[in-house]
Structure formats: structure tokens, C-alpha cells
């Protein structure tokens, strides 16, 4: 299993602490970014991934940050519509969205949904 190290994963952390994954031979790997997660899932290095729906759609539609050799055989299962952990983080002088005009922005993947929303 691969997942972003984030508060979304408290059930995974609880299962790790209880030893559920170890007892079933499942390793949990933190991902550095969505490209690593999605290409690893598509290439078969991981069997389960915890990711945003935008990543699933982008890679299935051939629009992922790092296109895969063939269309990935992946699907979303048990998605949750929680946006509580998504935050726009700025430098202190940015007080309004309008203050972002002309500034450099950063996302983990330029071709997935969160980047589109930010633009």
C-alpha cells in the first residue's frame, strides 16, 4: 500500500499500530508525490494506493504527470468526499486570492485536478 503522509490516513496509522498490516504481509509506503504513487500503482509496484480522485482520472485518461506505457488498469474504490485537509498555504503578505496574481505557484503535479483548480 502506498499513501501520502497526511492526516487522512489516521485509520491506516491505527491499523499499523495494531499490527494488522504486518500480520497480513502488507507494507505501507509513504509517497513523495502523486507521480511516484500513480506510476508505482500503474506499474504494479503497489496494489493499493490512497490518493485523490483527480490522480485516478488523470492517469486513466492519459493526462497524468508521467504518462504510463499503457492505459493503467486502476479504479477508485470507497472514495470519500472530504476536503477538510486541503489548504492553500501562502507567504504572510498574501491575504487575498487576488494577491496571488503574478506570483509563482507550486503543486505536486501540474496536470492533475488540484493544479487546475488553483489556476
Whether residue 46 is predicted with pLDDT greater than 90 in this model: the reply is yes
Its domain, for residue 12, covers 2-75+82-118
Interatomic CA distance for residues 48 and 1, integer angstroms: 5
State the DSSP H helix or E strand holding residue 118, giving kind and residue range, or none if neither.
Answer: helix 113-118
Whether residue 8 is predicted with pLDDT greater than 80 in this model: the reply is no
Counting the structural domains of the chain, the total is 1
Whether residue 76 is predicted with pLDDT greater than 70 in this model: the reply is yes
Whether the model clears a pTM of 0.75, i.e. scores above it, the answer is no
pLDDT at 34: 85
Using one digit for the tens of pLDDT, what is the confidence trace for 10-41?
Answer: 888 899 999 999 999 999 999 998 889 988 99
Rg (CA), the chain: 16
Amino acid at each position: 500500500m502506498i499513501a501520502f503522509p497526511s492526516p487522512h490516513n489516521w485509520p491506516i496509522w491505527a491499523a499499523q499500530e495494531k499490527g494488522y498490516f504486518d500480520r497480513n504481509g502488507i507494507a505501507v509506503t509513504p509517497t513523495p508525490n502523486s507521480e511516484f504513487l500513480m506510476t508505482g500503482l500503474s506499474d504494479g509496484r503497489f496494489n493499493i494506493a490512497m490518493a485523490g480522485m483527480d490522480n485516478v482520472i488523470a492517469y486513466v485518461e492519459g493526462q497524468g504527470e508521467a504518462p504510463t506505457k499503457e492505459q493503467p488498469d486502476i479504479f477508485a474504490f470507497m472514495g470519500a468526499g472530504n476536503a477538510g485537509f486541503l489548504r492553500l498555504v501562502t507567504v504572510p503578505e498574501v491575504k487575498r486570492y487576488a494577491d496571488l496574481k503574478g506570483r509563482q505557484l507550486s503543486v505536486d503535479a501540474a496536470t492533475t485536478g488540484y493544479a487546475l483548480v488553483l489556476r
